Amino acid sequence: MPLLEAAYELPASGVAGFPWDWVDGNTTSGQNVVAASGFHGTPVFGTQVNGQLRFADADAAQTGVLNAFFWCNVAHDFFYLLGFREVDGNYQTVDKLTKGRPGDPMTVSVFSTPSTNFGNVQAVQDGLPPDMLLAQHPTTGRQAALDAEVVLHEYTHAVTERLAAGRLSWNVAAKPQGRAMAEGLSDFFALSILEHLGAPTSPRRAFGVWVANDAVHGLRRVPYDAQFAATFADLGGFKDEHDAGQVWAMTLFRSAEALGQLVGDAERGVRMTWQLVLDSLKVLAAGHSGPSFLDARDALLSAANPPPKKPEFSGLSAPVLAQSIRAVFSRMGMGPGATSKGAAFKGVQADFS
């Protein structure tokens, strides 16, 4: 399966010397990602043909390794361009353009067994490689490593962890709202990256459709569509961070939609939201270890003022941008008067004004 056949397009780089090769030799191992079947097991071997590395005749497990390797590399490059770099604690074997701690490529282990925990990632401090573990869905038997949505979701967890907690810490998920926010961020990036970087099956309105073998709900309770009704006011009724996280993901999908309407370009609205969200996580790192949704709202507004110096934001003033974002937060119950008792689910007070 030649990797080049996958539908995928990076935004124009503009970063001198970037990107660099994904593979070092002839295996699923390189600067950004080391992927293997079994725990820290054997990578998949390819064959060099005319300067291209080709992976052929792989069995299902090997195809999963290859797929996870591919999408983790896409995620590395995507987040690098948005501003998650060596200095921010990103995941690379060698630090190339800025200075962090090297020696921590995303380390992916793919298991050919079913597990209730079929997709997870454990990121510790910068310089120590994170472990992404992917296995078969316990009911459908489908391999999570073959679902790009799951791979991107897990990779985003690792990004959130380093950015929102700080590169030498890893406690963004210390409190329920922080855990939920991380789930929402992961759903948002996974679905929007696939929808907007040209992979097939758009629009994407449910998360984990393939691995769950459920075209309507995917792995979640409800799809991210026009009927989505939950808001910040409902947080107290949630026990599971994935359910609560859908409120945060929907806030981001609606922000992208609102910004797209503001500039008359839906695609640009998504790119603006990606940038603001990434920047906002760096703002959170400055002061929070267990952020609430309202902390994250404030960080997002702070990332928008002044607007990032990126082409997507040209011609937009800070007040116009803030007004558009605030309107979405108000619709989701996170208006200026919303309150929260720390970052717990219970005790939130919504404000729709």
* Site for Zn ion, rule CB under 5 A: 183, 186
By beta-carbon proximity to Zn ion, the closer residue of 86 and 243 is 243
Q: Is 11 helix (H, G, I), strand (E, B) or coil?
A: coil
Positive or negative torsion for Cα 342, 345, 347, 349: positive
Residue 2 Cβ vs Zn ion, minimum distance, rounded to whole Å: 30
Number of Cβ within 10 Å of residue 162's Cβ equals 29
Residue 179 Cβ vs Zn ion, minimum distance, rounded to whole Å: 9
Residue 206 Cβ vs Zn ion, minimum distance, rounded to whole Å: 15
Residue 150 Cβ vs Zn ion, minimum distance, rounded to whole Å: 9
Backbone angles phi, psi at 111, to 5 degrees: -110, 140
Q: Is 45 helix (H, G, I), strand (E, B) or coil?
A: strand
Residue 183 Cβ vs Zn ion, minimum distance, rounded to whole Å: 5
Q: Is 213 helix (H, G, I), strand (E, B) or coil?
A: coil
By beta-carbon proximity to Zn ion, the closer residue of 186 and 273 is 186
Residue 180 Cβ vs Zn ion, minimum distance, rounded to whole Å: 10
Residue 212 Cβ vs Zn ion, minimum distance, rounded to whole Å: 14
By beta-carbon proximity to Zn ion, the closer residue of 151 and 332 is 151
- Say how far apart CA 245 and CA 184 lie, in whole Å: 4
Instruction: Report the chain's terminal Cα–Cα distance, integer Å.
Output: 52
Q: Angle at Cα 293 formed by Cα 290 and Cα 297, nearest 5°?
A: 115
By beta-carbon proximity to Zn ion, the closer residue of 119 and 307 is 119
By beta-carbon proximity to Zn ion, the closer residue of 183 and 312 is 183
By beta-carbon proximity to Zn ion, the closer residue of 176 and 269 is 176
Q: Are 63 and 1 in contact (CB under 8 A)?
A: yes
Beta bridge partners of 132: 108, 121
CA distances (Å), origin 300, targets 24, 159, 323, 324: 38, 16, 12, 12
By beta-carbon proximity to Zn ion, the closer residue of 90 and 186 is 186
Judging by beta carbons within 10 Å of its beta carbon (0-12, 13-18, 19+), is residue 20 exposed, middle or buried? middle
Residue 309 Cβ vs Zn ion, minimum distance, rounded to whole Å: 32
Backbone angles phi, psi at 6, to 5 degrees: -70, 140
Q: Give the CA count within 13 Å in the CB-facing half-sphere of 53.
A: 16
- Say how far apart CA 297 and CA 68 lie, in whole Å: 32
What the block records as the tokens of 102 is 């090297």
Residue 192 Cβ vs Zn ion, minimum distance, rounded to whole Å: 15
By beta-carbon proximity to Zn ion, the closer residue of 206 and 321 is 206
By beta-carbon proximity to Zn ion, the closer residue of 149 and 183 is 183
Radius of gyration from C-alpha coordinates of the chain: 20
